[in-house]
Amino acid sequence: MSTKTMIIAKNLVKKYEEITAVDGISFVINRGECYGFLGPNGAGKTTTMKIINCMSPLTSGNVLVCERHVKTKPREIKALTGVVPQEENLDPDLTVFKNLLVYARYFEVPSNEAESRVEELINFLNLSEKIDSHINELSGGMKRRLLIARALINNPEILILDEPTTGLDPQVRHMIWQKLRQLKKNGITMLLTTHYMEEASQLCDRIAIMDKGKILIEGNPVTLVEEKIGKEVLELRINNAMENELLQKLNRFEFTHDRVGDTLYMFSRDGRELLQYLVSNDYPLVLHRPATLEDLFLKLTGRGLRE
Amino acid sequence: MKSIFKVPDISFRAYRVWQRNRDSYKRFYKANLIGSLGEPVMFLFGMGLGIGGYLASMEGVSYIQFIASGIIMVTAMYSATFECTFGSYTRMMGQKTYDGILATPLTVGDIVMGDILWGATKSLISGGIMLAIIIIAGLMKGPVIFIIPILMLIFLVGLMFASMAMIATALSPSYEFFSYYFTLTLTPMFFFSGVFFPLEKFPLIIKGISYLLPLTYAVNISRSLVTENFSYIALSGFPLLLALTIILVIVAVNMIEKRVVK
Ligand SMILES: Nc1ncnc2c1ncn2[C@@H]1O[C@H](COP(=O)(O)OP(=O)(O)OP(=O)(O)O)[C@@H](O)[C@H]1O
Ligand SMILES: [Mg+2]
């Protein structure tokens, strides 16, 4: 396999009875790229992942993975893919070691290779001490690491990570990021969903922000934020009346703004002068910070709760 | 309706699922064996010697010998059924083992076939031990070579009831459902397949029903092989059971697929 594109999805639609979970999305994922799907709960991220991995049949559209059609070559596609599912499904009847060994057999890894591969992966994810433990004796972080080890058992070309660090402490999260970056260096193609914007910024070459089954925007996270939001954000805790008065005085500065509850957000490409003005005029400035993916995410998907 | 008879995608990889089940069984096999052998052994000797004490013979053989051949089949039936109801349901729903396997090159067909083969293997283990007990107790009167077809029969009965159980699993909303399944399908077979009494003396209607129960054919074959009363007619049940098993496997795969692939 030497082609540049790894996954091509065209007009992908997935309906569950009355719900349309994925509503006509198209995207292309390149070899060696880390591509992130972001979006509120129920946006259709997991569904998209499941279709790519042939776990869930699509309603209409076309998905090619490694030049194979998901409808006709599911066994081949699954042989090339590793999956860390959103919902933990380790085998509670087996030990850590056996979990991986049994999985190696599903992929027909030759038995003399399988054991050394299992040990290698257990070391890679720092689980050696738990090698003979049963799954119910592991912490959440260990389970997630084991899921990642399991997803790597077949040396996959594509690694699908559905919220790999949700609910984990910062130490484990950073460790997982390290490992994922290392894998990426070795050329693996990664698909990642996450609710942590920092994680997406750290790992993804490109992201797609989804909502209600559609892709709202796609691109490099840094470029997107710069284009759509700016470089800096100023947060002010002021009421509506003060806001109107202030905005009139700020005519000469270039910025966009957004009010949420008691806070006024001001997005700017170069906020230094604006900041000076606000500070010298004693406005109740709460925060001056770089613009982030989270600003973009909230701008696009709104601030209302989803579920 | 057509979709439940669709030709399933089953490969040699079913064996991988069988291996997974064997590996997890190694941990619990003692409790498991006592659970599946305790009852049939008690039935054999309790009823065989208890009722047998009042009866001179049943169809020309001693009562304990009469029921021995049937009890082997009952043992096989229950072992496969327990495995592919409670066992498979737990793997499918509670533990999400099926979801985990479906992310690998295996298909639903491989998983279901693997579970069915494993259910039949458990029949072979417990049915085989029952057969050994019966041989040791001197109740096996057929030629020694008949051990081979008896073991084949045990395995076939295991496959058949495992597939039937998988269908129940596909339909089951919860564990409670299985108590209906046991009461409405296994218990009638237990009583009306000629395990404990010859069917000839039953009223016509029950006799009619008993010929609709697959266990009846299995018991007839088993009895023909275990006792002195060998009969070719009984053996004609073999292809019947085989055909039924194939249909049940196909339906089971399609129904589980509907349940797990969304
Ligand atoms: N098996 C199913 N049956 C019916 N509806 C489903 C099923 N799975 C998902 N859905 C629906 O499809 C929509 C998209 O779900 P999906 O799991 O893809 O969202 P998500 O983006 O992964 O959300 P989250 O961030 O909460 O994981 C939701 O409305 C969900 O209720
Ligand atoms: Mg999800």
Distance, CA of A306 to CA of A45 (rounded, Å): 14
Distance from CA of A144 to the nearest CA of B (A): 14
Residue A291 DSSP label:
-
Contacts 24+ apart (CB under 8 A), B178-185: B178/B85, B178/B86, B178/B89, B181/B85, B182/B81
Residue A56 DSSP label:
S
Both tokens of A303, joined, read 């601030």
CB pairs under 8 A between A and B: 66
Task: Give backbone dihedrals phi and psi of A288, rounded to 5 degrees, phi first.
Answer: -125, 120
Distance, CA of B87 to CA of B67 (rounded, Å): 28
* Distances in whole angstroms, Cα of residue A49 to Cα of each of A148, A193, B142: 16, 9, 59
> CB of A168 within 8 A of CB of A144?
yes
Distance, CA of B192 to CA of B215 (rounded, Å): 9
Chain A CB within 8 Å of residue B102 CB: yes
> CB of A77 within 8 A of CB of B102?
no
Domain definitions of chain A by residue range: 32-57+71-220, 230-290
CATH code that applies to domain A230-290: 3.30.70
Domain count, chain B: 1
Strands (E), A149-300: 158-162, 189-193, 206-211, 214-219, 232-236, 256-260, 263-268, 285-290
Nearest alpha carbon to residue A183 among A283, A102, A84: A84
Give, for all 307 residues of chain A, the pLDDT tens digit. 456 899 999 999 999 988 999 999 999 999 999 999 999 999 999 999 999 999 999 999 999 999 999 999 999 999 999 999 999 999 999 999 999 999 999 999 998 899 999 999 999 999 999 999 999 999 999 999 999 999 999 999 999 999 999 988 998 899 999 999 999 999 999 999 999 999 999 899 999 999 999 999 999 999 998 888 888 898 888 888 888 888 888 888 888 888 888 888 889 888 788 888 888 888 877 788 999 998 888 888 887 666 5
Is residue B122 classed as helix, strand or coil in its secondary structure? helix
The distance from CA B25 to its chain's CA centroid, rounded to whole angstroms, is 18
Cβ density class A47-80: b for 16+ within 10 Å, e for less: bbbbbbbbbbebeebebbbbebebeebbbbbbbb
ipTM at complex level:
0.90
Are A32-57+71-220 and A230-290 equal in CATH topology? Answer: no
**CB contacts, 8 Å: A76 with chain B:** 105
Chain A: residues touching B (Cβ < 8 Å): 16, 53, 55-57, 74-76, 78-79, 81, 83, 85, 87-94, 98, 102-103, 105-108, 154
Query: Which range of residues forms the domain containing residue B73?
Result: 2-261
Does CATH place domain A32-57+71-220 in 1.10.287.110? no
Give, for all 262 residues of chain B, the pLDDT tens digit. 558 899 999 999 999 999 999 999 988 777 777 777 888 888 888 888 888 778 878 788 888 888 999 999 999 999 999 999 999 999 999 899 999 999 999 999 999 999 999 999 999 999 999 999 999 999 888 899 999 999 999 999 999 999 999 999 999 999 999 999 999 999 999 988 988 888 888 888 888 888 899 999 999 999 989 888 888 888 888 999 999 999 999 999 999 999 999 8
CB-count exposure of residue A44 (10 Å: 0-12, 13-18, 19+): buried
Distance, CA of A75 to CA of A258 (rounded, Å): 49
What is the CB < 6 Å shell around ligand 1?
A: A 16, 19, 21, 39, 41-47, 86; B 262
Which among B23, B27, B101 is the nearest to A106, CB-wise? B101
